[in-house]
Amino acid sequence: MNHGTRAVVAKRVDEGTADLSEITDLARAAGYDVVGELTQSRDEDAAFHFGEGKVEELATLMADVDAAAVIVDNRLGPYQTFNIGAKLPDGTEVIDRFTLILEIFGQRANTRKAQLQVELAELRYELPRAEAKASLATRDERPGFMGLGEYDQSREQDIKAQISRIKRELDSIADKEETRREERRESGFDLVALAGYTNAGKSTLMQRLAEDLEVGQNEDLHPDLETTAESEDRLFTTLGTTTRRADTGTRNVLLTDTVGFISDLPHWLVESFKSTLDSVYRADLVLLVVDASEPVDEMREKLVTCHDTLYERNEAPIVTVLNKCDKLDEGELEEKTDALSALAPNPVVVSGLTGENVAELCDRIEHELPPWERERLLLPMNDDAMSLVSWVHDHGHVESEEYEGDQVFLEFEAQPAIVEKVRSKAANLRQAETDGVVDSP
């Protein structure tokens, strides 16, 4: 991380007032020490992005606060980056929004899958720049014009080859994860994903839901599950996915927390992290977590962005969860839910921090998940039948279990696939009893 690197944050908007709060949070998340800021409201300048006079003002500010980097909350072209840097003190690093985001992703990528996705995003960011340089060089008849020609054409081909290689490896990982998801479903688990912006409180809410299960240390976790997501006021704490078993009542729920959304992400960056977002797209239910303490306009903008991302591929129902209700009074909550009713109809209002209304959220999760199937079975009384009854308890919800003479009457609810398995096993048990054969468990 860039521990202690002094930086100025800057942003240009076409009109209105530039908001530097998010870019400041992102810069601090990357380890920068933000010591100054600069904004401008004007049309984009093709050469400098900002007006040339504003860049000179930036140079003065950089010298005054002794900053080594400027972080621009806009997308800069390669030549704009070069032109700004040429106006600043020697050695100044010019970083645009997406370079910063990739830097943070790189710092947080602790798994092979996350590292591959970061590398893919970096290559997709670099590719059009390499293509532009190669195109410029080939316009001139001299080989290697400006030191760009042959090298950049080779670099462009190398980037494309690397992208293909990484996509193949990510596809292989995605296939394995899809198999794992299906195995979990076949074991009776419903898959619920947490989605939403960074710092919306997803990890805190996940801890609250998993906490109700009273799972102890890591060695006591279900073998499919990972350690609990950290809960910090820090962006991108969960770059990868974290899965825990959640106690919502009668259902067997696996809850997955994923990387948080951030605003103004270009398509190529979202596409690079498609493999991580598959845990959202392929869930049985999505909880879209929103920070209810934010201004309503900001909440609305984030909901629109989330919907655009989710509804493109997601088929599961989406429940909006207005989190951090402990920070608002009842009147403010009512006002915000009314204002957002078109985007977030019938939301669940909770506090992951205090646990307020978490029970209501659990009820809503169970209501929104795909319906279970009800079944009644009459089983012979033997060891195999007792093993089957125990298995049904683990994979469904047993409503009644009665013993009469040498038979067991079982009434339960479970996923259709689980019910089908139980029916098949029960039929085999009855046939074995008829044939006078009892298999060992």
Residue 200, annotated as binding a ligand: yes
232 band by pLDDT with thresholds 50, 70 and 90: very low
Query: In this structure, are strands 69-72 and 5-13 parallel, antiparallel, or unpaired?
Result: parallel
Residue 249, annotated as binding a ligand: no
pLDDT digits (tens, 9 = 90+) for 402-438: 988 888 899 998 888 888 889 988 888 878 777 665 4
Q: Where are the domains of the chain?
A: 5-105, 109-179, 188-368, 373-435
Query: Over the chain, what is the mean pLDDT?
Result: 82
373-435 matches 5-105 in CATH topology? no
pLDDT digits (tens, 9 = 90+) for 152-189: 568 888 999 999 999 999 989 888 988 888 888 877 88
Residue 197, annotated as binding a ligand: yes
**Distance from C-alpha of 184 to C-alpha of 389, rounded to nearest angstrom:** 20
Least reliable range by pLDDT among 71-80, 148-157, 334-343, 360-369: 148-157
Residue 144, annotated as binding a ligand: no
Residue 196, annotated as binding a ligand: yes
Over residues 73-88, mean pLDDT? 90
72 φ, ψ (degrees, to nearest 5): -100, 125
pLDDT digits (tens, 9 = 90+) for 323-350: 999 998 888 999 999 999 999 989 999 9
227 band by pLDDT with thresholds 50, 70 and 90: very low
Residue 259, annotated as binding a ligand: yes
pLDDT at 51 over 80: yes
Domain 5-105: CATH superfamily, name plus number: GTPase HflX, N-terminal domain (3.40.50.11060)
Residue 238, annotated as binding a ligand: yes
Q: Greatest CA separation found in the chain?
A: 96
CATH class belonging to 188-368:
alpha beta
pLDDT digits (tens, 9 = 90+) for 3-44: 679 999 999 999 999 999 889 988 998 899 999 999 999 999
* CATH architecture of structural domain 373-435: 2-Layer Sandwich (3.30)
Residue 220, annotated as binding a ligand: no
Residue 387, annotated as binding a ligand: no
pLDDT at 386 over 70: yes
What are the CA-CA distances from residue 170 to residues 112, 126, 157, 240 (Å)? 9, 19, 20, 13
Residue 325, annotated as binding a ligand: yes
Residue 326, annotated as binding a ligand: yes
**Distance from C-alpha of 191 to C-alpha of 255, rounded to nearest angstrom:** 6
pLDDT digits (tens, 9 = 90+) for 196-215: 887 788 888 988 888 544 33
Over residues 85-93, mean pLDDT? 91
**Distance from C-alpha of 391 to C-alpha of 161, rounded to nearest angstrom:** 49
Q: Which tokens belong to 321?
A: 């969860």
